[in-house]
Chains A and B, each alone.
Chain A
Amino acid sequence: MITIIKKELADYFTSIRCFILFILVLLASAAGLYAAYQGIRGVDTSTGFVFIRLFTTSGENIPSLVSFIGIFVPVIGIALGFDAINREYSSGTMSRILSQPIFRDSVINGKFLAGMITLAIMMATTLLLVGGFGLRMIGVAPSAEEIIRLFIYFVSIVIFGAFWMGLAILFSVIIKNLAISLLASLAVWLFFGFFYTLLIVPAVARSVDIYLLLVRLSPNTLFEEATMAMLLPQSRGLGLFASSEISYMILNPLPLGQSLLLVWPQLTTMIGLAAVCFAVSYIVFMRQEIRAT
């Protein structure tokens, strides 16, 4: 399996696809940094958290870095995974690899892990770049707690990316045609990203509880909530609050442990979704028969 990871990584890093993705990620980092540059002066620093506001502050017309990441991570996951298996079949390399003395599952495991490593490197680069330039810009060093919060945020990005890559790999196992499997993954992304939370759920939900339940079926919502709890420590809870409740809220930040507790269900649900996607593609792949054509 190590061999396959090595080869896939080498492929990714030399591919034009990855080059384009890296450029996109760099542009997003630059935009996020610029947004922070515009907005950070107006930020309320009474919470004691300044450094992580670099990531969540939006500019006049520019969204914050975290909203860029929320859009880009699914795209990167899909771009890295949509042709993982079906390309091997269509180029005829699958039978060649499988006729070597390796376990069949090491092919799909290797591809998934290599994709995760690539994604993790990209996102770590983004966070470090923005953190580094931001540090020069605002001159406020991060506290230990902020670093831990950022790290947990990074972990949640990787899990979120794993879900989208798992989904893309699932389509690449089921659908033989490269373009159609890409389209299918993008369709799911658009569905969750735009239609589901903005149109379908509000139309269907009759109460706040049902609204929250439905909205949290979407991985995008889970990721947004995880982001909020980690990077905006003053979040008391996730979801909707009645105005009567809000008036009782004290606007001081939660300690790290409490924020983690708040976000734990979101993180585990995302891990669960990613695991289901990968498990289904794993099983389908293992049962797929190599046939003489």
Chain B
Amino acid sequence: MDKKIVLETQDLTKRYDGNTVVDNLNLHVAENEVFGLLGPNGAGKTTTILMLLGLTEPASGSARVFGFDSTREPLKVKRLTGYLLERLGFYDGLTARQNLRFIAWLNNMTDDEAEQQIEQVLESVGLTEVADTSVGKFSRGMKQRLGIADVLVKKPRLAILDEPTAGLDPEGINQTLDLIAGLPNMGTTVVMCSHRLYEVQRICHSIAILAKGKLVVEGTLDALGREALAEGRYRIEVETAEARPQLVEIIGKISGVRNVEAEGNFLHITTDSDLRAAISKAVVNNDVALIQMKVQEFSLDDIYKKYFQEEG
């Protein structure tokens, strides 16, 4: 899977008053994917983002976004990138539409283009009805939605979202996640920071975990999940109508099966690849009714816990 890399950092390092906040970070984000940046508070996520946008200078190393050096050509990077801050700031005296219009102007959009785009993004975050209300009267969740509109109004090719669902109600979270998940189809790559692992698991294709400024792990979710749970193997769980001890032996002979354990009506099978077809055939051929079979799903929680235990 050779995808174009749109964002990469090389030994990116940042120190504040002698503390290394970001330590030789090497990240790679492929085009049109949703990339999750995880890590506990103070892991250096926000500082990394600030360096990506050229808002703060790295102590050493470099960051490239769409091939532009973030430190030397920040304007080119910022033209293509939208950034949703964790701490949202709007002009309270202006309406939602005016706030967005200001951003559109700063991005050199023409008036017609801006109005059209503003209408569209307000619609997509569900704020059309309050477009002309001043932002000072907005609730936390409405501001969060406006923040997402604010990122999208400039039609970014890369959207960096820091806690995009903070303060939203469950329905809002779902809508927002759907919106974010749809962005790659429209040609926008997404980098998203979040502490809610299930959200990341739901929409991200790849993740990176940071701790104390260092990269702990980077990769696609599937690969990392298997890595974390079963040293890279598949775990398949089979439920049969009755316990049949000889099944253990039969399945164990299928090539690629590493281990089979029986537990009542359940069989726990560890394999090198997805062998569900072969296993189901073996079960049915032995006159046992197959009730269900599934590849055991890992949760991001497991991945997260595993790496933080190792970090110790």
Contacts and interface: CB of A to CB of B under 8 A. Distances in A.
Given A92-B88, A293-B87, A15 B93 contact: yes
Nearest to B105: A3
B78 A95 contact: no
A11 interface: yes
A101 B150 contact: no
Interface string B7-23: 00000000010000100
Interface residues of B, number: 32
A289 B106 contact: no
Nearest to A7: B102
Interface in A9-23: 11, 14-15
Contact of B93 (A11, A94, A95, A289): A11
B90 A101 contact: no
Given A96-B150, A102-B106, A292 B46 contact: yes
Interface string A88-108: 100111111111111100000
Contacts of A91: 89-92
A123 B75 CA distance: 38
Interface in B82-128: 83, 85, 87-93, 102-103, 105-108
B75 A101 contact: yes
A203 interface: no
Contact of A100 (B76, B90, B106): B106
B83 to A, nearest CB: 4
A36 B88 CA distance: 53
A92 B89 contact: yes
Contacts of A96: 83, 85, 89-90, 103, 150
Contacts, number: 73
A98 B45 CA distance: 18
Contacts of A103: 75
B240 to A, nearest CB: 54
Contact of A93 (B47, B53, B76, B91): B91
A4 B93 CA distance: 16
Given A11-B93, A14-B93, A292-B47, A95 B107 contact: no
A291 interface: yes
A98 B55 contact: yes
A33 to B, nearest CB: 34
Nearest to A88: B89
Given A3-B102, A3-B106, A292-B47, A99 B53 contact: yes
A201 B214 CA distance: 60
Contacts of A101: 75-76, 78-79, 106-108
A199 interface: no
Given A3-B106, A100-B103, A101-B107, A95 B56 contact: no
B293 interface: no
A100 B78 contact: yes
Given A101-B75, A292-B46, A95 B105 contact: no
B89 A94 contact: yes
A93 B89 contact: yes
A103 B108 CA distance: 13
Contact of A291 (B56, B85, B89, B102): B56
A93 B83 CA distance: 12
B30 interface: no
B50 interface: yes
A242 interface: no
Nearest to A2: B105
Interface string A254-293: 0000000000000000000000000000000000011111
A102 to B, nearest CB: 6
A14 B91 CA distance: 13
Contact of B56 (A92, A100, A289): A289
A74 B92 CA distance: 28
B188 to A, nearest CB: 16
Nearest to A89: B89
Nearest to B16: A291
A290 B85 contact: no
Interface string A65-97: 000000000000000000000001001111111
Contacts of B55: 95, 98-99, 290
Contacts of A102: 75, 106
24 contacts: A4-B106, A6-B105, A7-B105, A88-B89, A91-B91, A92-B85, A92-B89, A93-B90, A93-B91, A94-B89, A95-B55, A95-B85, A95-B89, A99-B53, A99-B83, A99-B85, A101-B106, A101-B108, A291-B16, A291-B50, A291-B56, A292-B21, A292-B45, A292-B46
4 cross-chain pairs, A with B, having the tightest CB-CB distances, nearest first: A92-B89, A292-B46, A93-B89, A100-B106
Given A92-B88, A101-B106, 12 more contacts: A3-B102, A15-B93, A91-B91, A95-B85, A96-B85, A96-B89, A96-B103, A99-B81, A100-B103, A100-B107, A101-B108, A102-B75
Interface of A: 3-4, 6-7, 11, 14-15, 88, 91-103, 289-293
